[in-house]
Chain A
Amino acid sequence: MSIASQQRTMRFLGRSYMAFVFTPEGPIIEWLAQLDSWLARSPGFFAGRPVVLDLANVKLHRPGISHLVGCLLERDIRVIGLEGADPAQLGPDLPPLLSGRPVNSTEIVALTRPEQPPAPAPAPKQAASLLIDRPVRSGQSIIHPDGDVSVLGSVGSGAEIVAGGSIHIYGTLRGRAMAGHMGNSQARIFCQKIEAELLAINGYYRTAEELDASYRSRPMQAWLNDNVMMITALN
């Protein structure tokens, strides 16, 4: 039995996909008619392609949203997610609300009327960092997919921090730290004293057993170098 040598690795990755974003404008019936005329020229264009419905320009209640999603389905258009909708109007029967930031949205098909000026692109949301000014206790889980997480205090054994960006711990890291969780391999983990159970950056991880004992209880940083996790002391 050599269980120790056969280490199973499991990776959880964030992956980006290109999706069409529909931005219907009121009145919906007119917008659908316009869509129909467009589809008549290019039948089956959206079949099997992911479509996101941005409802920011129309104020729809729940029955309206499900009717619209149903109408699109009749036209072989499957909505994988919603944007700009009021969460209170959503339910388990509707596609989930997406909280992504447009990285660079390309206008592939001009569906808007030509005489209308294109809507100004929404200002990219600032990747906010999260500051936690108390210790993170065992069993607590801090999940912040949008940016860095700083902890003024220790992270207890059995606690975890998941960040889209880097993780800074001004205390002892005894739990788990997972940085760059949405596919950011530039993210790093810093801590004042390392006794971590697990470190992960962009899905590449190391468990306590694989950490060099000489780093224990010292300030360190972890980063990715060609998908290999590097750990160095900070002093």
Chain B
Amino acid sequence: MGKVLVVTSGKGGVGKTTTTAALGAALAQTGETVVVVDFDVGLRNLDLVMGAERRVVFDLINVIQGVAKLSQALIRDKRLETLWLLPASQTRDKDALTEEGVGRVITELREKFDWVICDSPAGIERGAILAMRYADAAIIVTNPEVSSVRDSDRIIGMLDSKTKLAENGGRIDKHLLITRYDSARAHRGEMLSIDDVLEILSTPLLGIIPESEDVLRASNVGAPVTLGNRLSGPGRAYMEAARRLQGESVSMTIPMQKRGLFDKLFGRRAA
């Protein structure tokens, strides 16, 4: 039986899809089978970030409605044979998701794969709730700024009340992933520090992903940063986060900005 993870945040644009793709690719590289599931029905993106947008035939809604079989909708990654994608529908909306249908699909995926990673849509409505509904563990993606942190707090509350696991009296495992962290800006007090975020959210930290152009570049070329640019700052941070998810203890490093002499002299920053 595989493990179902939901990647969620409340707020949009913090890096849920990037994280889903990067962690999925990182876990798949260890030889375990992984499926990444796009729950953002109507605004799908994961297929683009995974570089599979030209191979989508059937989608999650088709499977839920019984139009296609799961095996017809799953797309295998061309670079990693242990990595699969279940895309979302772009032409439908979140009302097409039913609780019972999602439950059936997740049960089937759980039997086939070691990891089922659900990419939640932003918000706290139907799509986001169904994405977390059957999860065993959650990755809460947060940017170090107040609105993102408050939305994450809200989502953590919902993870403790709206998931099947919580309703049955269990407690969902929660991991905090801080993305777009800019050590220079945090140092100048323009961003919340890691300690501030951890203090507010009181949730164990899974990793800190530095702000980097590599992430944007990876999305644009359709290769998860852990596949295309493994040695970049974010690539390494995601690889370490994946090892922590597998239960390994890897010491946490706060990513520091690498700056050349020229940048130091003129105080220039990347991004």
Contact = CB atoms under 8 A, between A and B. Distances in A.
Interface in A149-206: 153-154, 156-159, 172, 174
A158 B199 contact: no
Nearest to A136: B157
B160 interface: yes
Given A138-B153, A138-B154, A154 B200 contact: yes
A137 B124 CA distance: 14
A156 B151 CA distance: 10
B230 interface: no
B153 A158 contact: yes
For A138, A139, A158, A159, the residue with the greatest tally of chain B CB atoms inside 10 Å of its CB is: A138
Nearest to B146: A157
Contacts of A57: none
Contact of B202 (A135, A139, A140, A158): A135
A154 B150 contact: no
Majority-rule SS of B interface residues: helix
B200 A139 contact: no
A137 B160 contact: yes
Contacts of B150: 138, 156-158
Contacts of A136: 157
Contacts of B225: none
Interface string A92-136: 000000000000000000000000000000000000000000111
Nearest to B156: A137
Majority-rule SS of A interface residues: loop
Interface residues of A, number: 15
B200 A137 contact: no
Contacts of B151: 138
A139 B123 CA distance: 13
A137 B154 contact: yes
A137 B161 CA distance: 11
A174 B200 CA distance: 9
A154 to B, nearest CB: 7
B153 A137 contact: yes
Contacts of A135: 202
For A136, A156, A172, the residue with the greatest tally of chain B CB atoms inside 10 Å of its CB is: A156
B242 to A, nearest CB: 27
A110 to B, nearest CB: 50
Nearest to A158: B150
Interface in B187-209: 199-200, 202
Contacts of B154: 137-139, 156, 158
Contact of A156 (B158, B160, B200): B200
Contacts of B200: 154, 156-157, 172, 174
Contact of A140 (B124, B146, B157, B199): B157
A158 B10 CA distance: 14
B8 to A, nearest CB: 13
11 contacts: A134-B160, A138-B151, A138-B153, A138-B157, A139-B157, A153-B202, A156-B150, A157-B150, A157-B200, A158-B154, A172-B199
Given A138-B157, A156-B157, 18 more contacts: A135-B202, A136-B157, A137-B154, A138-B150, A138-B151, A138-B153, A138-B154, A139-B153, A140-B157, A156-B150, A156-B153, A156-B154, A156-B200, A157-B200, A159-B153, A172-B199, A172-B200, A174-B200
Interface of A: 134-140, 153-154, 156-159, 172, 174
Task: List the 10 closest A-B pairs by CB distance, nearest first.
Answer: A137-B157, A138-B153, A138-B154, A156-B153, A139-B154, A140-B157, A137-B153, A157-B150, A138-B150, A137-B156
